Structures are given as C-alpha cells and as structure tokens.
Structure 1
C-alpha cells in the first residue's frame, strides 16, 4: 500500500509539472499571437509583407495546435455547414513511417478533392482520398516543411535539414492516385515556406524571401530580416 501511495504521489507531481509546462507554453503562444495580430493591422497593402505575414501566421497556428495536442498523427477536418460545423479526425500514420508520431506541417487540397499532407517527422508526403484515407505516399530527402499547388495535379514541397545541409524544393505529381516525385531544385539557403503565383515560386528561408522561376533561377530577393540570429543562413 505504501508503494502504491508513493507511485500515486509521483504521478501527481508529474502531472503538476506537465500542467505547469503546458501553461507556460500556452502563455508564450498567446503572447506571440497577440503581438502578431497587432502587426497584421499595420501591414496595409504591402504584398511582400502580406506574404510573410501569412506564412508566419501558419507557423504560429501550427505551434498553438501542437501545444493544445491537436497535431501528431491526427488530421482534423472541419466542414462548415449552414448550421453546425462538423469535425472529424483521421489517422494518417502508415506502417512504413520511421517515427511513431507524424508531424503534419502542411496540407494541400487538390481540385479533385484529394488531400496532400506534408509529414515533417517521417520525411514524406501522403496522398489522401476523399474519405481521408492514405492511398499513396512518397519520400523526400529530409523534413517536409511546406507545400504549394503548382498545377491542379502538381505541388512544390520545401525540404530542409540544416544538419545535413539539405535545402531543396521537390516537385511531386499526382498521377492516377499515385504520387510521383519529379525534379528538384537545390539552394544554398534554407527552404522553409513556399508559394506559387503567376508562374513564379516564392521561397522563404526564415530570414529572407526569395523569388524564383519554376526552373530555379533567382529573380530577386524581396525581403531580408537581418535582426534574426540565423540571418547568416539565408
């Protein structure tokens, strides 16, 4: 009985520490979101800053969802009806995943209704059918950071691994419900977020925003934040 009480006491202490840690994380995330909301109000019509703001907002939201325990292997789908929003959960982990946990960093909905999921932890991209079941997947060279639609059946995926100096954009095509990897673009700077607009590819490094052609030729460097500690990696 004494041992059981000690185990229960240890469990209570562990839970209290976990709650304290979660509360601290929530406080930090709330502060970041509040500051970011104030920043958004001041952007105006600056297109480049709007792009950066959207990407930063996605990162903040993903961080908040992670703190709230709404990431990992579960993809949460919310469908808005005229009356009540419906929400469903779908496990996207597959047997060949190298990690027990999935890290969903981005999703992309195709015109067909199929969904592409970027899995950071398992270095892959997964294709879900309209019932949100994984029907195909393909590996990438490192962590899948972000994804954007290039054509109705092709996406560009940013792939990054600082330790192994991997900074790429991998093109992936959906062909008959199968994922096919195509060409890749390699860069000297980190590849974190990406967007496609009027035939140009925009890539962020965490401290800078670059504009490229789809062939990988740099058109311009649109924005640089030299105040960041990792500005040397841009």
Structure 2
C-alpha cells in the first residue's frame, strides 16, 4: 500500500493478511471464500473480490492501520467477481466475460467491455495512473487487451 503497509491475499486460507517489515503476519481477516483480486481504494483502504463461482460474489472493503485490518463493508454483486482496479472513485470489476464500472458504494455505472468467446476472456484488470487506459487480461487467448478513453 502507498502508506508503507504490506497487505496480501491468501487464497488457500481464505483471508487477507497484514505483514510487518520482518515478514511476520501481524493480523489476518477471514473471508467467506477465496480472495481473487485486491486493489487500493485509498491510502489505508483496500477492496477485495471474493467469489465461490456460484452465488457468493462480493467486494469486501478493508481499512488497514499500523497493527490491524478492519472490515468496513461488503457489497454483493450479481455476477462473478474476478479482477478489480480503482481510479478516482471508480471501481472496475471483471466477471470473466465483462468489464464493469461501479461506484465504491456498489452502484453499477455501466458495462465497458464484453467478450463472450470464453468464460475467462475478461479476468484481470488494471488502470493507468492517469486513468486514460484500462488493461484487461484474456486468460483464454493469452492476451492483454488495452482500452483507451473509457474511464469517465
């Protein structure tokens, strides 16, 4: 994180961990299923996608301070939640076939991109620091798809 804290997701143990400078686990927060992706929302907050690939499709918001992780809230989405990225109040979430833009309170803004050629054609997501480019990983075809000027 930009505040110097190291926060990692642990899919095997279904949790997010806070790590100190000596690489010791200071604290962990259990999640209801595997954490699939994580991004910074602010200096002390992260958002984590959690999905059981069936009915549990959520984004968990966690605040991180010097010694602890606090769950702030979680929102339920009606689609799989793989990748997540954040830029200036906008969250970008991938579903496997779509890239969707959300507000941080969980309101869908719009569908930005869709590729139904496979269930894994829209998985990972990143946003450039200026917000002008969005990068999406297509696991099925081994490609990085670049989108410009779609961030509002």
Fold match by TM threshold 0.5? yes
Q: Label 1:184 to 1:229 Cα distance change in 2 as closer, same or farther (>3 A).
A: closer
Q: Does 1:181 align with 2:75?
A: no
Higher CA-based Rg: 1
- For CA contacts below 8 A with separation 6 or more, give which structure has more relative contact order: 2
After superposition, the CA RMSD in angstroms is 1.5
Structure with a larger share of its residues in helix? 1
Equivalent-residue separation in structure 1 for 2:49 and 2:76 (angstroms)? 10
What is the TM-score normalised by the length of structure 2? Answer: 0.75
Q: Find the counterpart in structure 2 of residue 51 from structure 1.
A: none
Report deviation, 1:149.
Answer: 0.3
For this pair of structures, how many residues does the alignment match? 121
Equivalent-residue separation in structure 2 for 1:127 and 1:230 (angstroms)? 30
Q: Aligned ranges for residues 197-216 of structure 1 at < 5 Å? A: 197-216=87-106
User: Where in structure 2 are there 5+ consecutive unaligned residues?
Assistant: 122-152
Structure with a larger share of its residues in strand? 2
Q: Does 1:166 align with 2:70?
A: no
User: Where in structure 1 are there 5+ consecutive unaligned residues?
Assistant: 1-109
Equivalent-residue separation in structure 2 for 1:229 and 1:155 (angstroms)? 26
What is the TM-score normalised by the length of structure 1? Answer: 0.50
Q: Find the counterpart in structure 2 of residue 129 from structure 1.
A: 20
Equivalent-residue separation in structure 2 for 1:167 and 1:229 (angstroms)? 15
